[in-house]
Structure 1
Amino acid sequence: MKKSFIGACLGFLLSATVPALASEWITEQPGEHLNQMETELHGVLGTNDLGGGIRIGLPVISQGFVPSLNNNVMLSLGVDFLNWPSSDYAVTGMVIPIMLQWNFFLTRRWSLFGEGGVAVQDWFSRRANGDDQTLFIWPGLAAGARFYFNDGQYPALLLRVGYPSGLSVGIGF
Structure 2
Amino acid sequence: MMMSRSNCSGNLTKTIAATAVAAAVLALPNLASAESVIKRPGAHPDYSFELEPHLVFQWDNRWGSDDGLGPGVRFNIPFLDNGPISKINNNMAIGVGLDLTLGSNDCRWYYGGRGVPWDNRNDCNVTEVWLPVVLQWNFFLTDIISVFGEPGLGFVHRSYDWEFYCNGVNGQICEFDDTKNELEFVFWGGARFQFSDMVGLTVRLGTPYVSVGANFLF
TM-score, normalisation: structure 1 = 0.89
- Report the alpha carbon displacement of residue 39 of structure 1 after superposing the two structures with TM: 0.7
- Report the alpha carbon displacement of residue 133 of structure 1 after superposing the two structures with TM: 5.0
Q: Which structure has the larger Rg over C-alpha atoms?
A: 2
Ranges in structure 2 where 5+ consecutive residues have no aligned partner: 1-10, 60-66, 107-122, 164-174
Query: Equivalent of 1:45, from 57, 63, 67?
Result: 57
What is the number of residues matched between the two proteins?
170
Q: Give the alignment of 1:8-87 within 5 angstroms.
A: 8-16=18-26, 18=28, 19-20=30-31, 22-34=33-45, 35-47=47-59, 48-87=67-106
TM-score, normalisation: structure 2 = 0.71
Query: Equivalent of 2:185, from 136, 139, 142?
Result: 139
**1:20–1:110 Cα contact (<8 Å) kept:** no
- Report the alpha carbon displacement of residue 121 of structure 1 after superposing the two structures with TM: 0.8
- Report the alpha carbon displacement of residue 17 of structure 1 after superposing the two structures with TM: 5.3
Over 3 Å counting, the alpha-carbon distance change for 1:54 and 1:6 in structure 2 is same
CA deviations 1:113-149 (Å, max 9, x no partner) are: 0001101110244567968451111111000001011
CA deviations 1:56-94 (Å, max 9, x no partner) are: 111111112110010000000010011132143221121
- Alpha-carbon separation, structure 1, partners of 2:162 and 2:198: 41
Match of 1:121 in 2: 156
Q: Percent identity?
A: 31
Q: Give the alignment of 1:93-172 within 5 angstroms.
A: 93-126=128-161, 132-150=178-196, 153-164=197-208, 166-172=209-215
Calculate the aligned-residue CA RMSD, in Å. Answer: 2.0
Ranges in structure 1 where 5+ consecutive residues have no aligned partner: none
- Alpha-carbon separation, structure 1, partners of 2:70 and 2:32: 32
| Deviation beyond 6 Å, 4+ runs, structure 1 | none
Specify the code of the residue in structure 2 equivalent to 1:36: S
**1:126–1:134 Cα contact (<8 Å) kept:** no
Over 3 Å counting, the alpha-carbon distance change for 1:136 and 1:130 in structure 2 is farther
**1:40–1:55 Cα contact (<8 Å) kept:** yes
Specify the code of the residue in structure 1 equivalent to 2:200: A
